[in-house]
Amino acid sequence: MHIITKDFVHRIDDKLLSADVALHARPFCVVIEWMKEKNITGDILDKRIWEPVMRIYKSLYPKGNFSIPSLMVGGVALRDAMYPVHINVAYGSFSIEPLKCIDISQSELEFIFQHYPEQGWRAFYGVCDLWDFGYGIDDLINMGSPAKELLCNARSSAVATPRILSGTDPDAAVQTACLMAELSIKASLIHLGLTGDQLKKLSHHLPKLAAELIKIKPSRNDERLLQACSNFPNYVESRYASHGMTRLELMALSMRALFVASEAIRRISQRNMANEMEDRSDCPSRPVL
């Protein structure tokens, strides 16, 4: 069998890089190209091909992560800190323990539930929101939703918000949090049949957008959604002037925006872990946002 060369891997990798193929997927693509070029048939994961390819890739990208990435990485707020939440790729039937998705030590989590139980449960439901949001958007994109671009942009804002809040200069999180909420509702309205011109009339006004969504697709969380949407800053004005929000207030805003975004997506998808959890006898109602 022909031994794959570093020059070949490097050449194909450059093409894949230009085509925006993610790093974890590129070794697989290189192997396919090598097998085509050399007329090799058989197992793509044959270690005689795969092991040399991975050795070359690890020399090209010493710090590269070749693992299959999470579906999305969001975050939940506890006190004045943001904690990463990994929404992993899963297949078939599986169980989810929301609190185990949070990147936090068991001792700190126990401390939170002992001294700040409301925040603990808010984070619990925040993880449920992320599962509904992440998988709901993935489902909608794969089924060819007309709102694909808005859905992708909403997801990008949902990923960006906790990253910003994890840093030392969190003020820009106002923009991404508000965008996450607005784009999710607008994506849902587009998916449900509204036109771009109809959306323009609603502008950036979250309560009006929420009211329109409720009119078309009501649910048991209508009042909760309206209340959350009425408690956002004017993010157009906050682009040009200080919003005056403290770090704690920014954390609360991020969780509120996550609820609004996920609630919008729940109305047009088949994902609703949050309501399923809230219906359980061992889970209290979602804390006020």
Domain residues of the chain, as ranges? 6-60, 72-278
Q: How far is CA 63 from the centre of its chain?
A: 24
Q: Higher model confidence: residue 249 or residue 242?
A: 249
Assess whether pLDDT exceeds 70 at residue 182: yes
**120 contacts 78 by C-beta, under 8 angstroms:** yes
Nearest CA among 14, 9, 2 for reference residue 55: 9
What does the pLDDT look like over 113-164, one tens digit per residue?
999 999 999 999 999 999 999 999 999 999 999 999 999 999 999 999 999 9
Assess whether pLDDT exceeds 80 at residue 206: yes
Q: Higher model confidence: residue 3 or residue 129?
A: 129
**pLDDT value at residue 58:** 96
**Residue 243 pLDDT level (bands cut at 50, 70, 90):** confident
Looking at residue 283, its amino acid is: C
User: What would the mean pLDDT of 72-94 be, rounded to a whole number?
Assistant: 91
Least trusted range by pLDDT, from 81-85, 166-170, 188-192, 208-212: 166-170
What does the pLDDT look like over 43-52, one tens digit per residue?
888 888 899 9
Q: What is the dihedral of CA 91, 92, 98, 101, to 10 degrees?
A: -20
In whole angstroms, how far apart are CA 163 and each of 101, 144, 170, 175, 265? 17, 29, 9, 13, 22
Nearest CA among 67, 77, 66, 131 for reference residue 103: 77
**179 contacts 257 by C-beta, under 8 angstroms:** no
**pLDDT value at residue 239:** 77
What does the pLDDT look like over 12-30, one tens digit per residue?
999 999 999 999 999 999 9
pTM score, whole prediction: 0.88
User: What would the mean pLDDT of 224-233 be, rounded to a whole number?
Assistant: 97
Helices 206-216 and 222-229, interaxial angle, to 10°? Answer: 170
